[in-house]
Amino acid sequence: MSDYERVIDWMEATVQADERSYLTAAAVNLIMAAQEDPDARAAVLGATLAVPDGQPLVWALHALGHAHATRVYGPDLMVRFCARAARSGTAIYLYGGRSPAALALLEQRLRERFPGLQIAGGFSPPFRALTREEEERTIAEIDSSGAAVVWVGTGQPKQEKWMLRMRPRLSAPLLVGVGAAFDFHAGLVPQAPRWMQRSGLEWAYRLLREPRRLWRRYARYNPRFIAGFLRQYVRHRRDHRGRSCK
């Protein structure tokens, strides 16, 4: 399942069935973090649905035989779902944001863009672990809000670990991790032009915009992703030739 309409249909079906699921829009850095961090790996593997957020992941999937894979970009998934939720009345909760002020700006922008959208509440957590009391209050607030979908924008893999840990404790049917979508839709960080996204160069655009924050991530993970993909591709081709010879 890797196109927007099918994913949103699945999200709505999950809400209507009152199931307990979580979805992650996986970027390259999340996949590579999962190779090194057992907790990140458990959080990715624990997701009910993981979709390819980055164009390089889509290319890799195509090369490995998944011809129908398409990109499901977290920020686009969020706005497409919000457009449908504004019509259907599905209530959402926003967990994340750089600060309470940034979260308030995001709420304002979403309400302006999608009249009728029900934002049941929001919380911008501090850049530290919550105390037990703070965590219990947050859970109680989300549950009492009546939100059906909790959008989580605290960055990968932090948000995936949070969703794995909170999934048994929250009553909302669906949690969705969307990384930098909160910053983009609040207007705090510009998105890469579409041609750069299609060309797999979004990372370069973001690096130019936020070099101090992002250079370590890309310097560490991009080369490792390429090397890891090449190893997997060689195995894939070898296995494919072996099956063809039988």
Condensed to tens digits (0 to 9), the pLDDT of residues 187-235 reads 998 887 888 888 888 878 788 888 888 878 778 878 887 887 788 878 8
Under DSSP, the state recorded for 239 is H
State the chain's mean pLDDT as an integer. Answer: 90
CA distance 217 to 60: 20
The more confident residue out of 149 and 243 is 149
Three-state DSSP class for residue 93: strand
CA distance 97 to 79: 16
Query: Could you tell me which residues are beta bridge partners of residue 92?
Result: 119, 149
Is 2 buried (19+), middle (13-18) or exposed (0-12) by CB count in 10 A?
middle
Under DSSP, the state recorded for 131 is P
User: Which string of b and e fits 192-224 if b means at least 16 CB within 10 Å?
Assistant: beeebbeebbbbeebbeeeeeeeeebbeebbee
Q: What is the pTM of this model?
A: 0.88
pLDDT tens for each residue of 122-160:
999 998 889 999 999 999 999 999 999 999 999 999 999
The structural domain count of the chain equals 1
For residue 174, what is the enclosing H or E element? strand 174-177
Q: Which ranges of the chain does DSSP label H, i.e. alpha helix?
A: 4-16, 28-36, 38-45, 55-63, 74-88, 100-113, 132-145, 158-166, 181-186, 194-198, 202-209, 211-244
CA distances from 21 to 4, 5, 10, 123, 148 (A): 17, 18, 11, 20, 11
Tokens of 74: 């977290």
Structural domain of 33: 4-244
